[in-house]
């Protein structure tokens, strides 16, 4: 990375805090409340950390909060960096290397996003199982440039961007908290990251849905790529702040106020869930191995729709066959 050195930033922070966090939490739009549950906290403004990027978006604070949550030492990023603010990708993801330098092994990432999956409603939560990093695929990737082998290999596998065991732990913890019966949590889904800052056109939404995405947002993937490069395990939550409009004038346009409002509806439940997952981490293997087996993953296509496609395909084949007989 060509921007300010994460090792220098970590050295600065280590001199100023006694905390050596093993858990890093990146708070998305309107989800900064996660940090207020951090006990015995010590807060640094981004502007007081030499070499740290600065945020520019309303609703995104700019603070690094150290302390204890769920019995572990954590560091919380209140406010993240976006490509649409004009930051290079390497700078957006640089705090993740600071996490690594400070001892972080697990990263929680949260974001607000538009729902593409027809089953998703406003204020639903999706446990992230995969992503489409569209700017990254087109070359705007934080790992472009000389590889820093101190952090990881040149060609980093991305077969497990979001840790399946942590995702299962999240699901089982939601079960313990009796959140599953409320029906707002989806156990898996693919997040598409676009550059923004404009929201998507209806054609872009249809394109992303057809490409396997369940939700679309403007963050997270660069941080996760850099985390996976240096071996940090990731757990991601997407909060559906609006439902994507799939045809021209086919619904109300999204706006940032609505994004912040939707996050308020779930803030307390999300805060409780994150703290409870951290408290469950020491029993991760036991909880995950005793969990009921996963159902078959369906991605963006609900089972009934797959069935409808099959019936449609058979009907079309029958019509074509009849046509060839006449």
Question: Which spans of this chain sit near ligand HPA (rule: CB under 6 A)?
Answer: 112-114, 199-200, 216-218, 241-242, 244, 254, 259
Residue burial 128-138, b: 16+ Cβ < 10 Å; e: rest: bbbbbbbbbee
Contact criterion met (CB below 8 Å) for 73 and 23: yes
- Phi and psi dihedrals of 111, rounded to 5? -155, 160
Does residue 2 carry a catalytic annotation?
Answer: no
Min dist CB 15 to ligand HPA, Å, is 37
Min dist CB 212 to ligand HPA, Å, is 16
Q: Measured between alpha carbons, how far is 277 from 132 in angstroms, rounded to an integer? A: 26
Does residue 131 carry a catalytic annotation?
Answer: no
Min dist CB 142 to ligand HPA, Å, is 19
Does residue 137 carry a catalytic annotation?
Answer: no
> Of the listed 77, 89, 93, 112, which one is catalytic?
112
Does residue 32 carry a catalytic annotation?
Answer: no
Contact criterion met (CB below 8 Å) for 93 and 234: no
Does residue 218 carry a catalytic annotation?
Answer: yes
Q: Which residue number places its CB atom closest to ligand HPA?
A: 114
Min dist CB 245 to ligand HPA, Å, is 9
> What tokens does 283 get?
């029993």
Q: Measured between alpha carbons, how far is 287 from 282 in angstroms, rounded to an integer? A: 10
> Of the listed 32, 60, 63, 223, which one is catalytic?
60
Number of helical H runs and strand E runs in the chain? 9, 11
Does residue 221 carry a catalytic annotation?
Answer: no
> What tokens does 318 get?
């029958």
Does residue 85 carry a catalytic annotation?
Answer: yes
Q: Please say which residue, 28 or 152, places its beta carbon nearer to ligand HPA.
A: 28
Q: Please say which residue, 115 or 161, places its beta carbon nearer to ligand HPA.
A: 115
Q: Please say which residue, 45 or 201, places its beta carbon nearer to ligand HPA.
A: 201
> What tokens does 74 get?
């954590």
Q: Please say which residue, 58 or 296, places its beta carbon nearer to ligand HPA.
A: 58
Q: Please say which residue, 26 or 104, places its beta carbon nearer to ligand HPA.
A: 26
State how far the alpha carbon of 173 is from the alpha carbons of 104, 168, 290, in Å.
21, 8, 12
Burial of 95 (0-12, 13-18, 19+ CB in 10 A): buried
**Catalytic site residues?**
29, 60, 82, 84-85, 112, 218-219, 242, 256
């Amino acid at each position: 990375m060509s921007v300010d050195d994460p090792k220098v930033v970590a050295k600065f922070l280590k001199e100023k805090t006694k905390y050596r966090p093993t858990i890093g939490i990146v708070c998305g739009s309107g989800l900064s409340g996660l940090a207020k549950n951090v006990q015995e906290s010590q807060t640094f403004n981004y502007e007081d950390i030499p070499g740290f990027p600065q945020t520019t978006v309303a609703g995104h604070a700019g603070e690094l909060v150290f302390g204890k949550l769920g019995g572990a030492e954590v560091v919380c990023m209140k406010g993240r960096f976006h490509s649409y603010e004009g930051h290079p990708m390497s700078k957006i993801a640089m705090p993740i290397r600071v996490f690594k330098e400070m001892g972080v092994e697990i990263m929680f990432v949260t974001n607000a996003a538009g729902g593409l999956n027809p089953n998703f409603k406003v204020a639903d939560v999706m446990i992230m199982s995969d992503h489409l990093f569209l700017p990254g695929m087109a070359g705007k990737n934080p790992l472009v440039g000389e590889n820093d082998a101190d952090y990881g290999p040149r060609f980093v596998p991305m077969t497990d961007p979001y840790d399946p065991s942590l995702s299962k732990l999240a699901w089982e913890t939601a079960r313990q908290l009796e959140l599953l019966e409320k029906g707002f949590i989806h156990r898996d889904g693919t997040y598409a990251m676009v550059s923004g800052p404009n929201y998507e056109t209806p054609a872009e939404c249809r394109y992303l849905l057809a490409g396997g995405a369940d939700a679309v947002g403007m963050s997270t993937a660069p941080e996760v790529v850099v985390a996976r490069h240096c071996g940090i395990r990731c757990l991601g939550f997407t909060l559906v702040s609006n439902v994507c409009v799939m045809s021209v004038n086919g619904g109300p346009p999204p706006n940032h106020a609505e994004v912040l409002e939707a996050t308020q509806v779930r803030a307390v439940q999300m805060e409780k869930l994150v703290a409870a997952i951290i408290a469950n981490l020491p029993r991760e293997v036991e909880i995950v191995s005793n969990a009921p087996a996963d159902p078959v993953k369906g991605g963006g296509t609900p089972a009934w729709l797959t069935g409808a496609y099959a019936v449609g395909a058979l009907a079309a084949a029958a019509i074509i066959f009849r046509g060839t007989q006449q």
